Amino acid sequence: MKRFLLMLTIFGFILMGCEGTKTAEEYYAQSELDRNSKNIKSSLENLENVIIHYPDHSLAPKAQYLIGDIYMNDLRDFEAAVTAYSLVVENYQPSADSPKAQFMIGYIYANPQFGKIQDLDRAKLTYEMFLKDFPNHELAPSVQFEMENLGKDINEIPVLKHIAS
């Protein structure tokens, strides 16, 4: 009887331990729900759990990219966004999110609205690497446009002039 109770107790602890980990899909879905309800901290935690618990899952690069997106758009922390996007490029080659992350790094460095992080030399280098690595990607024309207008004011770009007025 004691042996049975011991086995039952061990089995119970194993079950309790398993309940603590969700699937990658559950973490990702919860992250989206949290972000939509402005619970950004929890959203980031769920995305980090995808990466920690399921680093080889197809949602891992998407989770890392979304971390960059949250830092850029929700928290307006552009340095953290660059760091997060860089992790996509470094850790998830090839993936559909890698070119988008590379583009976003260049975009943040290229544009003055992102404050003190603006660095036109880094933007140019990032965009050149994009065109080298992803010459046929759908974002390649946007990268080319960005490079042609790097450092220009919006009023100096004829196709965008109407936006400023």
Write the CATH number for 147: 1.25.40.10
- Which domain does 72 fall in, by range? 21-164
Distance, CA of 51 to CA of 95 (rounded, Å) = 14
User: Do the domain assignments include residue 10?
Assistant: no
* pLDDT at residue 160 tops 70: no
* Count of structural domains, the chain: 1
Q: Is residue 101 part of a domain?
A: yes
Average pLDDT over residues 17-36: 84
Distance CA 162, CA 128 (A): 28
Give the model confidence (pLDDT) of 86-118 as tens digits: 999 999 988 899 999 999 999 999 987 777 788
Asked if residue 85 is part of any domain, the answer here is yes
- Domain assignment present for 4: no
Whole-prediction pTM value? 0.80
Confirm whether 119 is domain-assigned.
yes
What local confidence, expressed as pLDDT, does residue 6 receive?
Answer: 43
Question: Which pLDDT score, from 0 to 100, does residue 118 have?
Answer: 80
pLDDT > 70: percent of the chain = 82
Rounded to whole angstroms, the maximal C-alpha distance in the chain is 85
Tell whether 68 is covered by a domain. yes
